[in-house]
């Protein structure tokens, strides 16, 4: 099996197996560039996912600094706690956004249903008037 001729983001040789047609893996195949771009832009458009990625990078830095002895373990513990709080807020933010978009969709549905229900309501009203007339007469 051939190895992909592409270069990874960190400058190293790509280690994925290449597809016979292109000599490159799925990630580096030029003919897949557009498809890849679409995936990437979809992910980038979402703010929480960008924040999560940033958070991940920062946590990695903290881990590396602790490992390298550049960062005090207690300070690192506090930082990790702060990262955890941030993560919770990102999750909360996402939940709120999802709820809001759901609420918006529900409102639109309810409005559509209310518009549809109008003729039936008029009919019911007429019917009840009719029956009360009967009772009176």
How far apart are CB 27 and Zn ion at their closest, in Å? 5
Of residues 2, 10, 12, 14, which one binds Zn ion by CB under 5 A? 14
Q: Using the rule CB under 5 A, is 79 a contact of Zn ion?
A: no
Tokens of 129: 């008037």
Query: Cα(88)–Cα(63) distance, rounded to whole angstroms?
Result: 20
- DSSP H helices, the chain, are 33-45, 47-67, 73-136
Report the nearest approach of Zn ion to the CB of residue 39 (Å): 15
Site string for Zn ion, 84-113 (x = CB under 5 A): ------------------------------
Total residues at interface with Zn ion (CB under 5 A): 7
* CA atoms of 104 and 110, how far apart (whole Å): 10
Q: Which listed range, 4-12, 33-41, 84-92, 115-123, lies at the site for Zn ion (CB under 5 A)? A: 4-12
* Residue 18 per-residue DSSP state: P
Q: Taking CB under 5 A as the criterion, which residues in 25-44 touch Zn ion?
A: 25, 27-28
Residues 6 or more apart in contact with residue 87 via CB below 8 angstroms: 52, 55
Counting other chains too, the contacts that 15-19 makes at CB distance below 8 Å and 24 or more residues apart are none
CB atoms within 10 A of CB 24: 20
Which residue of 1, 3, 4, 39 would you call a contact of Zn ion, by CB under 5 A? 4
If the CB atoms of residues 9 and 45 are measured against Zn ion, the closer one turns out to be 9
Minimum gap (Å) between residue 6 Cβ and Zn ion: 3
Residues engaged in binding Zn ion (CB under 5 A): 4, 6, 14, 16, 25, 27-28
């Amino acid at each position: 099996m051939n190895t992909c001729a592409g270069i990874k983001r960190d400058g190293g040789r790509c280690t994925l197996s290449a597809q016979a047609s292109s000599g490159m893996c799925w990630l580096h195949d030029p003919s897949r560039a557009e498809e890849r771009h679409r995936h990437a832009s979809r992910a980038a458009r979402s703010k929480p996912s960008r924040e999560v990625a940033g958070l991940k990078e920062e946590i990695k830095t903290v881990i590396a600094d602790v490992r390298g002895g550049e960062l005090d373990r207690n300070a690192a513990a506090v930082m990790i706690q702060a990262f955890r709080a941030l993560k919770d807020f990102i999750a909360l933010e996402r939940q709120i956004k999802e709820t809001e978009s759901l609420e918006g969709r529900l409102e639109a549905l309810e409005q559509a249903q209310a518009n549809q229900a109008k003729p039936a309501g008029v009919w019911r009203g007429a019917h009840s008037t009719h029956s009360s007339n009967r009772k009176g007469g």
